[in-house]
């Protein structure tokens, strides 16, 4: 297959994009994003090495007002590209979609029906698909879901302790960050098939954060549940919280659903706790005790989750750190691994400081790895497989 693959990740006020030269192993060409759609839009375009190719605002007027116009701005910056196929990151595939899905009218209707499960993200993902369909009629589009990789969870990991009709109504532990976990699972499988056949805990620690137990290359359980709020604390999200706290805030303090939503999604986590920032770099550089306290709580909860997921698998052969914090913060990795020797996880301080791919101490029974995640490359790989009639296309 020849030509260019376009990968889009449409959020509420941004569209991230990346292009790849199609082929059995797609090669990244350019990428970037339009931010501030609907407010003060700004476009940045970089080549595969990260060099800035375009950087523009629209002070002179003509700024993109919606996703369709932002897409036009992206395509203009890309030199009026006509992609051979387009892949989209879509947050929710519901309980049944366990693989990427080719887009047609029926699939769009199915994905629309899932909007209530992810009201903050799914509508924007679908707006990106619609904008592409209008701009490129006939060009194949593929939806790649954050939930799909987790559809191998056993029922015990998929359910809440509620009467069964709630599960039937879709109140389930879907799990998210699936494209990242799938990328890491494939990366480890390509490097070390014996390790990939074993038990991995992958810690995707970025602005959003979750952990996943992967056994034999398949997701067994994950820290995120019905929404991307569950599990460990995040940049601005609370992570797991006693549901009784929410009842108290509603009943005793009169908080509304909208107020709770703002608190849990945007006013909690590292930013809410520290009162300073959601960025680990800022918190690590700060002398404010609230910064240290927030980081300490974060690593406490991540460490607990490593233990819980290792327990779910009956042990652990490797802990893999990934995403912005996991890939870059030696301090967070060291704090998470403190006291995990009982699981056979021993960190080498010097290797960790240098951020080497394998940061385990010599002789550590279980390995500690750092791997770069690449959700866009995972989507490009899904596109390649779908176009070749491969595994994708459920
Ligand atoms: P992501 O969502 O994967 O792009 O991760 C973004 C987050 O990674 C940022 O908010 C920072 O908290 C964190 N991050 C990025 N670079 C570093 C770094 N060098 N040291 C510590 N944290 C970092």
pLDDT band of 11, cuts 50, 70, 90 = confident
pLDDT, position 391? 56
Q: CA 230, CA 393: separation in Å to the nearest integer?
A: 29
Q: Give backbone dihedrals phi and psi of 203, rounded to 5 degrees, phi first.
A: -105, 100
From residue 194, how far is each of 189, 279, 317, 341, 360 by CA, in Å? 8, 36, 10, 22, 17
111 close to 90: Cβ distance less than 8 angstroms: yes
CB under 8 Å to 379, separation ≥6 — which residues? 7, 87, 88, 89, 100, 142, 144, 179
pLDDT band of 390, cuts 50, 70, 90 = low
Share of the chain above pLDDT 90, in %: 85
113 close to 90: Cβ distance less than 8 angstroms: no
User: What's the CA-to-centroid distance between 197 and ligand 1, angstroms?
Assistant: 29
Least confident of 105-114, 116-125, 266-275: 116-125
Q: Is any atom of ligand 1 closer than 6 Å to the C-beta of 281?
A: yes
CA proximity to 228, closest of 89, 99, 129, 109: 89
The pTM assigned to this predicted structure is 0.95
What rounded mean pLDDT belongs to the chain?
94
Q: Is any atom of ligand 1 closer than 6 Å to the C-beta of 269?
A: no
Question: Higher-confidence residue: 308 or 10?
Answer: 308
pLDDT, position 95? 95
- Is residue 295's pLDDT more than 50? yes
**What is the number of alpha carbons within 13 Å of residue 272 lying toward its C-beta?**
17
- Span 207-252, pLDDT tens digits: 999 999 999 999 999 999 999 999 999 999 999 999 999 999 999 9
Least confident of 79-88, 299-308, 340-349: 79-88
User: What's the CA-to-centroid distance between 190 and ligand 1, angstroms?
Assistant: 26
Q: Is any atom of ligand 1 closer than 6 Å to the C-beta of 328?
A: yes
User: Ligand 1 pocket check: which of 279, 335, 355 to mutate, most ligand atoms within 8 Å of Cβ?
Assistant: 279
Q: Is any atom of ligand 1 closer than 6 Å to the C-beta of 280?
A: yes
326 close to 314: Cβ distance less than 8 angstroms: no
Angle between helices 122-135 and 105-112 (to 10 degrees): 160
pLDDT, position 394? 35
User: Ligand 1 pocket check: which of 16, 35, 280 to mutate, most ligand atoms within 8 Å of Cβ?
Assistant: 280
User: What's the CA-to-centroid distance between 164 and ligand 1, angstroms?
Assistant: 39
- Is residue 37's pLDDT more than 80? yes
- Span 137-182, pLDDT tens digits: 999 999 999 999 999 999 999 999 999 999 999 999 999 999 999 9
CA proximity to 202, closest of 306, 307, 332: 306
Q: Give backbone dihedrals phi and psi of 96, rounded to 5 degrees, phi first.
A: -105, -30
- Is residue 317's pLDDT more than 60? yes
Q: CA 163, CA 123: separation in Å to the nearest integer?
A: 30
pLDDT, position 204? 98
170 close to 198: Cβ distance less than 8 angstroms: no
User: Ligand 1 pocket check: which of 282, 291, 328 to mutate, most ligand atoms within 8 Å of Cβ?
Assistant: 328
User: What's the CA-to-centroid distance between 324 and ligand 1, angstroms?
Assistant: 4
User: What's the CA-to-centroid distance between 329 and ligand 1, angstroms?
Assistant: 8
pLDDT band of 392, cuts 50, 70, 90 = very low
From residue 210, how far is each of 38, 176, 231 by CA, in Å? 30, 8, 6
Vertex 222, ends 216 and 223: CA angle to 5°?
A: 155
Task: Set out the domains of the chain in order of their start, with CATH numbers.
Answer: 4-145 (3.30.420.40), 178-370 (3.30.420.40)
């Amino acid at each position: 297959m020849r030509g260019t693959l376009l990968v889009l990740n449409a959020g509420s006020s941004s569209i991230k994009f990346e292009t790849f030269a199609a082929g059995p192993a797609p090669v990244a060409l350019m990428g970037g994003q339009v931010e501030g759609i609907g407010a003060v839009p700004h476009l940045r375009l970089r080549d595969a090495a990260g060099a800035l190719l375009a950087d523009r605002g629209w002070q002179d007027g003509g700024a993109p007002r919606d996703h369709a116009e932002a897409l036009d701005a992206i395509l203009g910056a890309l030199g009026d590209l006509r992609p051979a196929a387009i892949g989209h990151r879509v947050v929710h595939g519901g309980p049944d979609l366990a693989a990427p899905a080719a887009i047609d009218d029926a699939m769009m209707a199915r994905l629309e029906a899932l909007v209530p499960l992810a009201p903050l993200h799914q509508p924007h993902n679908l707006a990106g698909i619609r904008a592409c369909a209008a701009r490129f009629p006939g060009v194949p589009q593929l939806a790649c879901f954050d939930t799909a990789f987790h559809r191998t969870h056993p029922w015990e990991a998929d359910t809440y302790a509620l009467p069964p009709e709630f599960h039937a109504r879709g109140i389930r532990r879907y799990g998210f960050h699936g494209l990242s976990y799938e990328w890491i699972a494939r990366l480890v499988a390509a490097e070390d098939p014996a390790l990939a056949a074993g038990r991995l805990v992958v810690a995707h620690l970025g602005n959003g954060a979750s952990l996943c137990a992967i056994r034999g290359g398949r997701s067994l359980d994950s820290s995120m549940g019905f929404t991307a709020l569950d599990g460990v604390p995040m940049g601005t999200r609370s992570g797991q919280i006693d549901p009784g706290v929410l009842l108290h805030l509603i009943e005793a303090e009169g908080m509304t659903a909208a107020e709770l939503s703002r608190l849990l999604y945007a006013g909690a986590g590292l930013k809410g706790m520290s009162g300073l920032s959601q960025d680990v770099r800022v918190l690590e550089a700060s002398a404010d005790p609230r910064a240290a306290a927030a980081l300490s709580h974060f690593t406490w909860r991540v460490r607990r989750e490593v233990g819980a997921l290792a327990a779910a698998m009956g042990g652990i052969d490797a802990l893999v750190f990934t995403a912005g914090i996991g890939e870059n913060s030696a301090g967070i990795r060291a704090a998470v691994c403190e006291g995990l020797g009982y699981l056979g996880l021993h960190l080498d301080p010097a290797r960790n400081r240098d951020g080497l791919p394998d940061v385990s101490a010599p002789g550590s029974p279980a390995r500690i790895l750092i791997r770069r995640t690449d959700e866009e490359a995972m989507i490009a790989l899904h596109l390649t497989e779908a176009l070749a009639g491969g595994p994708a296309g459920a």
